[in-house]
Amino acid sequence: MSLHTLPLLFINLGGEMIYILDQRLRAQNIPQEKAKKVIHDIVGTMFNRRFMTELFKPQELYSKKALRTVFDKLAHASIMRLNSASMDKLYDLMTMAFKYQVTLSTSPSEVLLVTLNHMDAIRNFVGETAVISDQVNNVYTLLNQNYGNFSLGAFQLIRQTLLTFFQDMHIRVSIFLKDKVQNSNGRFAIPTSGPVPPGTEIPGLIRLFNDKGEQVKTVSFASGGNYTCPLVASSIELHGNRVTRLGTNMYTVTKPFETTVSRDLNHRSESEGSDVDRNNPNPLAKAELNLLSQLIGLLPQSQTTPKSEFRINLFNTDEEEEEYDLQKPDTSSQVIKIDASKGEYGSTLDKMVGEMSMAGAGADSSSKGDDLLSLMDSIE
Domain boundaries, the chain: 2-189+234-356
What pLDDT is recorded for position 298?
Answer: 52
Integer-rounded Cα radius of gyration of the chain: 22
CB 173, CB 97: distance < 8 Å = yes
CB 22, CB 127: distance < 8 Å = no
Distance CA 286, CA 132 (A): 33
What pLDDT is recorded for position 296?
Answer: 53
Distance CA 138, CA 326 (A): 43
CB 162, CB 9: distance < 8 Å = yes
Distance CA 22, CA 5 (A): 26
Burial of 257 by CB count in 10 Å (0-12 exposed, 13-18 middle, 19+ buried)?
A: buried
What pLDDT is recorded for position 307?
Answer: 53
CB 174, CB 182: distance < 8 Å = no
What pLDDT is recorded for position 366?
Answer: 35
What pLDDT is recorded for position 85?
Answer: 80
Which among 99, 111, 204 is positioned nearest to 152, based on CA atoms?
Answer: 111
Distance CA 313, CA 290 (A): 32
State pTM to two decimals.
0.74
Which among 272, 269, 278, 274 is positioned nearest to 291, based on CA atoms?
Answer: 274
Provide the residue count of the chain: 380
What pLDDT is recorded for position 33?
Answer: 87
What pLDDT is recorded for position 268?
Answer: 37
Which residues, in sequence order, are CB contacts of 62 under 8 Å at separation 6+? 6, 70, 274, 288, 292
- First vs last C-alpha separation in the chain: 42
Is the torsion defined by CA of 153, 158, 164, 170 positive or negative? negative
Which amino acid is located at 121 in the chain?
Answer: A
Mean pLDDT by 10 residues, the chain (380 residues): 89 95 80 88 92 90 87 83 81 94 94 97 92 95 95 95 94 88 92 84 93 94 87 87 92 58 41 38 49 53 54 57 63 40 45 41 35 33
Is the torsion defined by CA of 71, 75, 78, 82 positive or negative? negative
